[in-house]
Amino acid sequence: MHKATAYHGALGDFFAEHSDTSPYNAYTDRPAMLRLAGDVSGARILDVGCGAGHYAAELSARGAQVVGIEGSATLLRHARARVNGHAELLLHDLEEPLGFAADASFDGAVCALVYEHIRNRVRLLGELRRILRPDGWLLVSTTHPTADWCHFGGSYFSHDWRDLPLGDGELSIHYQRIPLETFLGELLAAGFVLEQLVEPRPAAGLREIDETAYEKLHQAPSFLAVKLRRP
């Protein structure tokens, strides 16, 4: 399994808890992506880098048939507990082809905050295009390039790999800064058609539990989310 980017051991355990309630994942990225997904009842959906299974559980609860793939055995354990048998979950390194999936066998794919971790994105996008049916949809969210630029400094156009400390700073995630031009350019070059782009702001519920985070995330972009179609 991919050692540099998948969230193993203590990092996986930390992320499982963090993604459950954090202003970023629970109140900003996830509500925006689920809104983009729309009505998923009856759809077969691939959850690419399913983490602790929050998307898989929610999409299943909304009537979708979900297959989740994840490179961290730690997170897969959390995901299994969360989906409680309502989604199929597989250990899979996203640097490898999606050999388990037949051509045109999914109606949709969700790739939430995973894209920036992947090195062979051209191959992953080619594989997603292959396994989606014609007119199928792909949702991708990523760290907002402006947020990365504000945080890391240097050139906005840099494509360097960075370590972002999490929690008390003992743990960090490893990902690539991707300028907007590269992010959208790669998705379009893979043959997808852009349908919607959003810069998610936090859901109203955050205001009651963390007003400071609510105000901050309303003023500074944290993520970028797109809905694409496979022609």
Strands (E), the chain: 44-48, 65-70, 88-91, 106-112, 132-143, 161-166, 171-176, 193-198, 223-229
Q: What tokens appear for 44 in the block?
A: 């077969």
77, 50 in Cβ contact below 8 A? Answer: no
Whichever of 13 and 210 has its CB closer to ligand SAM, that residue is 13
Which position among 45, 57, 95, 202 is part of the footprint of ligand SAM (CB under 6 A)? Answer: 95
Whichever of 5 and 176 has its CB closer to ligand SAM, that residue is 5
> Is residue 19 a contact point for ligand SAM (CB under 6 A)?
yes
> Is residue 68 a contact point for ligand SAM (CB under 6 A)?
no
Which position among 23, 37, 64, 71 is part of the footprint of ligand SAM (CB under 6 A)? Answer: 71
Q: Which of residues 75-94 bind ligand SAM (CB under 6 A)?
A: 75, 93-94
DSSP 116: G
Which position among 36, 59, 66, 70 is part of the footprint of ligand SAM (CB under 6 A)? Answer: 70
State the nearest-atom distance from the C-beta of 43 to ligand SAM, in Å. 18
- Lookup result for tokens 């014609």: 134
* 112-148 as b/e: b if 16+ CB within 10 A: bbbbbbbeebebbbebbbbbbeeebbbbbbbbbbbbb
Which position among 64, 112, 217, 225 is part of the footprint of ligand SAM (CB under 6 A)? Answer: 112
Residues that bind ligand SAM (CB under 6 A): 2, 5-7, 19, 25, 49-51, 54-55, 70-72, 75, 93-95, 112-114, 117
